[in-house]
């Protein structure tokens, strides 16, 4: 992974760290990355279903 990508996501994690720990139980950077990836995959699935139904 490029340093720029890592730095971007780590900085985003620092912004939401306390909120995510309380609301979602996410207490580590790796858990945050997994959560973000799952969210992106779910969004992609939804958009795929919309384009296929047209």
Check whether 41 has a pLDDT greater than 70: yes
Domain boundaries, the chain: 3-52
Check whether 53 has a pLDDT greater than 90: no
Check whether 6 has a pLDDT greater than 90: yes
H-type alpha helices, 1-54? 3-23, 29-52
Region 4-23 average pLDDT: 97
Whether residue 8 contacts residue 29, with contact meaning beta carbons closer than 8 Å, is answered with no
Q: What is the pTM of this model?
A: 0.82
């Amino acid at each position: 992974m490029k340093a720029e990508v890592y730095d971007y996501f780590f900085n985003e994690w620092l912004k939401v760290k306390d909120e995510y720990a309380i609301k979602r139980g996410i207490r580590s950077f790796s858990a945050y990355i997994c959560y973000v990836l799952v969210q992106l995959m779910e969004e992609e699935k939804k958009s795929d279903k919309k384009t296929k139904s047209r």
